[in-house]
Structure 1
Amino acid sequence: MRRKQAQFITIEGGEGAGKSTNIAVIQACLQTAGIDYLHTREPGGTPLAEEIRNLLLTQRTEQVAPDAELLMAFAARAQHLNQVIWPALEAGTTVLCDRFTDATFAYQGAGRGIEDTKITQLEQLVQQGLQPDLTLLFDLPVEVGLERARQRGDLDRFESEQLAFFERVREGYLARASLNPQRFEIIDASQDLAAVASQVREVMSRRLSQTNG
């Protein structure tokens, strides 16, 4: 796949980390820099992938097997890549994606206890070597994030998990950042909105200048 100058930027973080709020800040940075971009999300991004998203998030009495959850996540990702992400990158359009495979390593890997080797095998099959150029990880204490999530209203199937699950997810995210320091930028999401937005603008300014330079 020929990528031209397009960047693949992903946004990650646990519940209540403020990803949705700060995506608007990132979009403004891209617009100011004159960069054409596409905003999308995972799971989702296409009609089929959005249906799978609904399957993953909906509360249900049936216990979902971790491997079934993992395979659904990658089924949605395969469709998303083929229909949205790869065509955009090939056309020279930067892609801004709310979550990607780091979320799978954090939630299904660290959270559910699935071995990284299983996830890596699916990653290689589905992504064919594609990795984000930049990942912004919005990090904050689990208790703070869960309280924010509860204030938003009804909780989905993941948001209803126990505290220990989210502690593992956070540890999984931080482990991913430690393994990929050149790709990750960690944002302290425990601060107020203005302070978080300031961090985001600083990171985007620095990384975009490096890319353009």
Structure 2
Amino acid sequence: MVRPPRFDTDQLLDAAVRLAASGGPHAVTMSAVAQAVGAPSGSVYHRFAGRTVLLAEVWLRTVERFQEGYLAVLTEEPDPHRAARTASRYVVAWCRENPHEAVLLLYGASDFGRADWSEEHGRRADAGNSRVFAALARLAEALGARDEQARDRVALALVDLPLTVVRRHLRTGGTLPPHAEDLTEQCTTALLT
């Protein structure tokens, strides 16, 4: 009878997220992840062929989890102004609920070794980004953003602004103020009015 593994993939990725949040992507090593969960190094190598795969999976799992909810907000609300306000609030709320993962979003895929990822990992990243960009483009169109400046305003309101509101607090390990969602929504509304 085969004994079930003591450490599952999510436990290892959770440890990698915590390491990256506290020390940056360079802190995520196979041995550091093993040590963080009290596992033998072989347990980590059994799940991930090497550090490059581990970094890709940490980044992709984090981004895919964020994008799933963000896309739902962007696409399910029929009123484009309400969708925009809700999407900007979602970014802040998600970061509040997932502070370690949110710190990872302040980095980029390149910080997690994107240049060395497998073709499959690259496709996953590109597919997720394409879905988000397409949803943002549809929302921008619905908001009447016809030229480049107007589309940039939508991106600023729904991507850059919410991340700016949380960046300072996340980078210092602080908590987000209770008014962060409201402030973000107010700024988004002002930019899109």
Q: TM-score, normalised by structure 2?
A: 0.36
Q: Mark the structure with the bigger radius of gyration.
A: 2
Relative contact order higher in (CA < 8 Å, ≥ 6 apart): 1
The structure with the largest helix share of the pair is 2
More strand by share: 1
What TM-score, normalized to structure 1? Answer: 0.33
